Amino acid sequence: MGIGWAGEQAATLAATALLHELLLADAQGLPVRTGSPAAEESRELRLHPMEPRGLKKHLAELEAAADRAITMLGAEDLPDAKLAAHLIGICDLYEARSHYRVWREPMLPHDAIRAIIKGGTDAFDRKARQAFLERITLYPPGSFVQLSTGEIARVVCVNSQTPTLPKLKVFLAADGAPLEPARTLDLAAHPVTHISRPVDETSLHLKDKKLLMALQAERWWVS
């Protein structure tokens, strides 16, 4: 959406993204399943490198996988296969950092974005990099934040003109009590209230244990 692809182009990009891991595994001779945490860690690190020094080689492999996927799909409507690979690659880097793995806890989405920015994104196509940072931002949709009022809210959507001032659904009062009903808050229209910090919603000290269990079950970035 951020680069203006829609319809068949968006569908082809989505299908290419779904195929890319299988094609990368095939190109590297890696099994679909490993059967042990240590082997799985090795496989994941090869398929989803997170360090800047491995990104250029990874992107070259992704470009080849994207070309192969597009050929397999019989698609001719992607205007730029290289850009498609870079879009998949930068999203993949974000997912690798923010998803749970057997051998490590996930980063909060906010921290994953900061790590990507700090670690350098120069290897990625400028258009892919710009679209990613504008659409995901430091407070990705679906993530949770604490407000200056002490309340807890979920990010609903990003304001393109003010990416650090998203629209929120405030569902917890400062004392941890659920708000019924939850209220919508557009930070761009309420400059007095601001985000204090990102939060891990599964670690909140809530009085309502059923709500905590629901948040843990719905954790949006867990694979």
Between CA 98 and CA 106 the distance in angstroms is 5
Per-residue model confidence as pLDDT tens digits over 34-83:
778 788 888 888 888 888 777 888 899 999 998 888 888 876 667 788 89
Between CA 133 and CA 128 the distance in angstroms is 9
| pLDDT profile of the chain (223 residues), mean per 10 | 85 89 88 79 84 84 89 75 91 86 80 84 87 90 94 91 92 89 94 92 79 73 46
Tell me if 154 sits within 8 A of 144, measured CB to CB.
yes
Prior bond of 181 cis (ω within 30°): yes
pLDDT of 198 = 94
pLDDT of 76 = 66
pLDDT of 148 = 96
29 contact partners, CB below 8 Å, separation of at least 6:
none
pLDDT of 223 = 41
Closest residue by Cα to residue 71 from 62, 61, 81: 81
pTM score, two decimals? 0.80
Q: Quickly count: other Cβ atoms within 10 Å of residue 44's Cβ.
A: 19
DSSP string computed for 176-197: SPEEEEEEEEEGGG-TTS-EEE
